[in-house]
Amino acid sequence: MIPKYKYKPRIYFIATFIATYCFWLAGAYASFHDDQSGMYMLFMLPGLMAPFLISLVMIFTSKNPDLIKDFINRLINIRLIRLKMLPALLLIMPLTVLVSIVLSLPFGGSVSQFQFAEGFSFSSGFVPVLFLLLLAAGFEELGWRGYAFDSLQSRYTYFKASIVFSILWSLWHFPLIFVNNSYQYEIIHQSIWFGVNFFISIIPMGVIISWMCIKNGKSVLVAILFHFVINLSQEILAITQFTKCIETLVLIVVAAVIIVLDKDMFFSREHLATEVKK
């Protein structure tokens, strides 16, 4: 956090939600009146970019040079990345998926879930799905880590900021359930409980991403990479939605273990400040 700068979380999140919801609801309407060209993505992409663009506005209109320098440093400084954290960064989500598949087997889950998926679980118009997964990780984390999370942490302990952020991040995805062919649209039409599970799963996932970012000097690059690994992990294997419900429970356990093992950081603002400076 930047000394002598008053963060404005309420303005940031209200502006981000309004911008994203407006674009995505327009995109939802267009997605059902599309001639298969996928042009509805022209609405979806600005909504996806909203967290980043509003973060830029908040940062560069602040007239605070320290805030601007801090954002640029966390974006380009690879020395913030801790080598000892790389195994966790690269393996937490793939292992979570594998453990979830194993746990699903006694409940009738198929071993075929260990196979690579034949394709992606949704379509994305004229934008290749793999590229969209990267764009989502990039534009979201540039906003969430560029301004949003710090704005919450300026008011709360790290634990409370993580929970509040994760709930808001979950709700930010809500309009996607109305977008034809989106992942959220597809699963909620399979079962409303699969849709509910998606929104619940984001909460422990948000806590884990926030922890990973802080443990790497608040590096925005780490947050983007970890988010992209999460996106790939959800798509690379033929995992069922039932298993993804189990995965949510595994994620809750992982987040709880992280909180317990790093409780000093989660419940002390002073420790957070020290962690960032290391």
Quote the pLDDT of residue 35: 73
Q: pLDDT tens digit string along 215-225?
A: 999 999 999 99
| Two tokens, residue 141 | 């984390």
Residue 269 has pLDDT above 80, yes or no: no
Phi, psi of 116 (to 5 degrees): -65, 140
Could you give the angle at which helices 41-60 and 9-31 cross, rounded to 10 degrees?
A: 170
Contact 150, 157 (CB under 8 A): no
Residue 179: strand, helix, or coil: coil
**pLDDT tier, 121 (very low <50, low <70, confident <90, very high otherwise):** confident
Residue 262: strand, helix, or coil: coil
Mean pLDDT of 141-161: 95
The answer for residues whose C-beta is within 8 angstroms of residue 215's C-beta and 6 or more apart is: 82, 85, 275
Confidence at 272, pLDDT banded by 50, 70, 90: very low
Q: How far apart are CA 212 and CA 206, in angstroms?
A: 10
Q: How far apart are the first and last CA of the chain?
A: 14
DSSP class of 63: T
The set of residues, in sequence order, having a beta carbon less than 8 Å from that of 261 and lying 6+ positions away, is none
238 Cβ contact partners less than 8 Å away, ≥ 6 residues apart: 112, 113, 114, 115, 116, 117, 118
CA distance 231 to 248: 14
Which pTM does this prediction carry? 0.92
36-78 residue pLDDT tens: 778 899 999 999 999 999 999 999 999 899 999 999 999 999 9
**pLDDT grade, residue 122 (50/70/90)?**
confident
| Residues known to be catalytic | 140, 173
167: buried, middle or exposed (CB in 10 Å: 19+, 13-18, 0-12)? middle
For residue 104, give the nearest of 203, 228, 242 by alpha carbon: 242
